[in-house]
Chains A and B, each alone.
Chain A
Amino acid sequence: MATDRIVGIDLGTTNSLVAFMQGDTPVVIPGDDGLNLLPSVVALDSNNHPVVGNAARSALIDKPERAVYSIKRLMGRGSEDIQEELKLFPFRLADDLQAGEVLRITLGDKTFTPPEISALILRQLKRNAERFFGEAVTKAVITVPAYFNDAQRQATKDAGRIAGLEVLRLINEPTAASLAYGLDKKQNGIVAVYDFGGGTFDISILKLHDGIFEVIATNGDTHLGGDDIDNLLITIALDDIRGDLGLDLRRNAEAVQAIRKAVIDAKIALSSESSIKLDIELPGGQHYRREIRREQHEQLIQPVIDRTVGPCKQAMKDASLKPEQIDEVVLVGGSTRIPKVRALVKELFRREPHTGLNPDEVVALGAAVQANILGGGSEATENMLLLDVTPLSLGIEVAGGVTDKIILRNSTIPASATQHYTTQIDGQTNVAIHVLQGERELATDCRSLARFDLKGIPPMAAGIPRVEVKFLIDANGILHVSAREQRSGKEAEIQVVPSYGLTDDQVEGMILDSFDNAEEDFRKRQLIEARAETTTILAALEKGKKSPAWGALTTDEKKKIAKMEKSLAAVNAEEDYQAIRKAIDALNQGTTRLAELMMDTAVSTALKGKNMDDTDLGEGPTAPHPMAKAEFE
């Protein structure tokens, strides 16, 4: 059965990756620069075209007002809960932003919502995968921090749709890592995944049992990561510069970005060096120089990494497990390269952590494993099944502004709960319901997910209607609500007002803008590439015709080649890249013997002592063309 190719995507705060299952092994698909990591940076070039990754990263320093990074921090959030973020990150909110509206970020003279910016990153990964496979990619599994709430998950799903991807599943990052780990190790036991990335921290404790990956407890902080260490170091450097050189650079975006790059490099170097020398050229030609020893550095960052302790302890408590009962602690995320972080994990779990995984890639690899399972599985994943949990309790606001929890955190998903409602006034036809997510007692301390209006309740005396509302958290961790009036059997109509998020129509509009283009772009790219190949193969054939090998072919063979050549030339003038590719393949097949003869000639010429350069093989008709890699079929 031909299944569509499903890719696994790690949409990270700092870097993003796309991976797929090649036979029994998940592998990362590199970008056209040959690198596996795509920096999660988006910029607008001088023509207002979006660029993503390393190209955008250089814009970050030259034209910071046209670039954005760490957009994941803003996914699914409202303007009032990002005040901290705004102090630390150069996010430029749109001037005309209304209260309650989805955030919009200014790049140059355009504005984008966080899901649209994430979609640009996803689209780049999609293109990388399409280039690699030579065919369109439309389905994906995307990872999210385990501690992401409903709004953040929904925003990620929206980003996928905007990028032209059907998001088959959102999967939690630490759980994804455990899939890659489990595929490799195939052992039963209790595993803790400590995932300290660029912008988020997660801890998940799982029970691995004959291929079932059952999450027992999860906890975390969606605003704790390498970013926080960087911001701390930037602040210290800016203070230093102000004190030593009397320069206030806090409002100088270019200088801040230059400092940011330097302290990140220093942070990375200090994981292996005992001291480093910082030397940053500042505007005006002055230099900021400083030597940092590892102990100093560790002291500075200790408060940040200490923030991971609370969630770890809570997760163990929720799982009713002591550190000794955990068989292995797996490290994931770039920040776990910091020796001090490893030391902290060792102390917390009283064991040496498992560092055998590539902390940057393992989440994407796990997403590829899950993609393979969703696609029907293979021999390697046949027995694997993931049972994940909801990280946060789901509640309803009841009288007195109190949260009544109806699905508790760490419940295996899908999970559901049913509540009954009635009316308080005769003839009342609407009931308002406020859905919350979080652990706190008071509704105002929890995250508001949505307000639902139950409408169309048949008019009855107060207290008579009985509306049954079913709350269902699906396997993506996203909430669905349905309602029915039980006395009349009438489906009550639900009107959802997401507290922070795009409406379906808004997402739809964004898709049409970019999706149509993406399809068209893909077709155009394919056509250009196919035509380039035609040129190559025809040139090689011309050379072949001049070689002595040509004479060795039978008339019949020559006739056949001529016929294929003619039909390739014909389809090459048309717009159908698939037809061109077919004709190229046919010609490739038809000239195999010619290629072999040419090779023989080349060898015998070489034996005669002639210079190989005289016998130019060109790329040769049998050179495997970059699109058809047989081993991926």
Chain B
Amino acid sequence: MTKSVLTEIGAKPLPQETHSCWSCGSMRAAHFCESCGKVQPPAPSDYFAFFGLPLKLNVDITALEKDFYALSRKLHPDLSAGSGSNEKEQEWSLEQSSMLNDAYRTLKDPIKRTQYLLHLEGVELEEQSKSATEKARATGEIKKQIVPPDLLEEVFELNMHLEELRMNKKVGDDDPALFEEIGKAKLSLETKHAALLQELQAYWKEWDGLIDRGAEVSSAERAQVRDKMVDVLNRRNYIRNLVRDVNEAMEN
């Protein structure tokens, strides 16, 4: 994993690599030609494959950054902007490097990476919440948040406090005890948030184990780990939104 993708791609060819370079005719690496360095036309690929990575959730971030820099030095449009490269090359370079940037941005962030993998697995977390928001807006209803059961009591109390704080702010009152109370609740939420991330990492391990076993894994096994991750992400989003509300109320 610590090995650079540049050498890895050379050693272990990806499917699209059977092509030859449009410019010098040599066998080429996926994104640029190892012989002459020319950027190649972009081939459809997911973000993991773009970096030559398996569909695993534990990613060596240091190695990823190194590969990102190395690939940037090959693909960035600045390198083909001057004379000596044609319009087609510049277009490929633009597309390849935007793909590189999109992939790096997604994979380096643990939550975005998990969401992306779930998207590849057919789960659309974002769209679920988006369509729920839109539906709520269209019908004029308040969007129903499913409160995780273990949080019910805490959230109820916190919302009361927040409401009180907002009212105080309106009339210019200051209640240090209330402020402290909310601060405590926020701390508790942040602790829960950290615990959820740990839980998520445990599922990463389970998922990566499935990938290592390869073809023998049943789709039911995959679905089981997948659903656990979806559940953690949903709970995490809920807590994150709550913390954001608290921060806003405390700052204003």
| Interchain CA distance A417-B98 in the complex, whole Å | 9
The residue that A374 contacts in the complex, of B82, B95, B105, with Cβ under 8 A, is B82
Chain B residues, CB < 8 A from A6: 82
Chain A residues, CB < 8 A from B134: 398-400
At the interface, yes or no: A413 with Cβ under 8 Å from chain B?
A: yes
Interface window among B73-81, B155-163, B178-186: B73-81
B101 touches A411 (CB 8 A): yes
The residue that B76 contacts in the complex, of A376, A387, A400, with Cβ under 8 A, is A387
10 contacts between A and B (CB under 8 A): A4-B83, A370-B78, A374-B82, A385-B76, A385-B79, A400-B134, A411-B105, A415-B102, A474-B77, A475-B97
Chain B residues, CB < 8 A from A4: 83
Q: A475 and B78 in contact (CB under 8 A), knowing A385-B73, A416-B102?
A: yes
Q: Residue of A at shortest CB range from B127?
A: A420
At the interface, yes or no: B94 with Cβ under 8 Å from chain A?
A: yes
B138 touches A475 (CB 8 A): no
B138 touches A399 (CB 8 A): yes
Chain B residues, CB < 8 A from A475: 76-78, 94, 97
| Interchain CA distance A373-B82 in the complex, whole Å | 9
A472 touches B94 (CB 8 A): yes
Task: Provide the A46-81 mask, 1 if CB < 8 A to any CB of B, else 0.
Answer: 000000000000000000000000000000000000
At the interface, yes or no: A340 with Cβ under 8 Å from chain B?
A: no
- For chain B, the count of residues having a C-beta within 8 Å of the partner chain is 24
Chain B residues, CB < 8 A from A370: 78
A416 touches B98 (CB 8 A): yes
A386 touches B78 (CB 8 A): yes
Which residues of chain A (190-231) have a CB below 8 Å from chain B?
209-210, 212
The residue that B72 contacts in the complex, of A374, A375, A387, A404, with Cβ under 8 A, is A387
Chain B residues, CB < 8 A from A402: 137
Beyond A376-B83, A385-B73, list 16 extra A-B contacts (CB 8 Å): A6-B82, A168-B81, A210-B69, A212-B72, A385-B72, A386-B78, A387-B72, A400-B134, A414-B101, A415-B101, A416-B99, A472-B95, A472-B98, A475-B76, A475-B77, A475-B78
At the interface, yes or no: B51 with Cβ under 8 Å from chain A?
A: no
At the interface, yes or no: A630 with Cβ under 8 Å from chain B?
A: no
B84 touches A414 (CB 8 A): no
Which residues of chain A (344-401) have a CB below 8 Å from chain B?
370, 373-376, 385-387, 398-400
Task: Provide the B45-87 mask, 1 if CB < 8 A to any CB of A, else 0.
Answer: 0000000000000000000000001001100111101111000
B137 touches A376 (CB 8 A): no
At the interface, yes or no: B207 with Cβ under 8 Å from chain A?
A: no
Chain B residues, CB < 8 A from A387: 72, 76, 101
Give min CB distance, B135 to chain A, whole Å. 10
At the interface, yes or no: A607 with Cβ under 8 Å from chain B?
A: no
| Interchain CA distance A327-B95 in the complex, whole Å | 34
At the interface, yes or no: B222 with Cβ under 8 Å from chain A?
A: no
Q: Residue of A at shortest CB range from B75?
A: A414
B81 touches A374 (CB 8 A): yes
Chain B residues, CB < 8 A from A374: 78, 81-82
Give min CB distance, B141 to chain A, whole Å. 13
Chain B residues, CB < 8 A from A416: 95, 98-99, 102
At the interface, yes or no: A126 with Cβ under 8 Å from chain B?
A: no
B residues neighboring A (CB under 8 Å): 69, 72-73, 76-79, 81-84, 94-95, 97-99, 101-102, 104-105, 130, 134, 137-138
A375 touches B82 (CB 8 A): yes
Q: A3 and B83 in contact (CB under 8 A), knowing A385-B76, A386-B78, A387-B72?
A: yes
Q: Residue of B at shortest CB range from A374?
A: B81
Chain B residues, CB < 8 A from A375: 82-83
At the interface, yes or no: A1 with Cβ under 8 Å from chain B?
A: yes
A3 touches B77 (CB 8 A): no
Q: Residue of B at shortest CB range from A410?
A: B105
The residue that B97 contacts in the complex, of A3, A168, A400, A414, with Cβ under 8 A, is A414
Chain A residues, CB < 8 A from B97: 414, 475
B84 touches A400 (CB 8 A): no
At the interface, yes or no: A447 with Cβ under 8 Å from chain B?
A: no
At the interface, yes or no: A104 with Cβ under 8 Å from chain B?
A: no
The residue that B104 contacts in the complex, of A212, A412, A474, with Cβ under 8 A, is A412
Give min CB distance, B64 to chain A, whole Å. 14
Chain B residues, CB < 8 A from A413: 98, 101
At the interface, yes or no: A169 with Cβ under 8 Å from chain B?
A: yes
Chain A residues, CB < 8 A from B102: 415-417
Q: Residue of B at shortest CB range from A214?
A: B69
The residue that B81 contacts in the complex, of A169, A209, A210, A412, with Cβ under 8 A, is A169
Which residues of chain A (304-350) have a CB below 8 Å from chain B?
none
Of B78, B97, B99, the most chain A CB neighbours within 10 A belong to B78
Chain A residues, CB < 8 A from B78: 169, 370, 373-374, 385-386, 475
Chain A residues, CB < 8 A from B98: 413-416, 472-473
Q: A376 and B82 in contact (CB under 8 A), knowing A399-B138, A415-B101?
A: yes
Chain B residues, CB < 8 A from A473: 98
| Interchain CA distance A42-B48 in the complex, whole Å | 53
Give min CB distance, A230 to chain B, whole Å. 33
Task: Provide the A407-426 mask, 1 if CB < 8 A to any CB of B, else 0.
Answer: 00001111111000000000
Q: Residue of A at shortest CB range from B104?
A: A412
| Interchain CA distance A607-B98 in the complex, whole Å | 73
B130 touches A404 (CB 8 A): yes
| Interchain CA distance A4-B81 in the complex, whole Å | 12
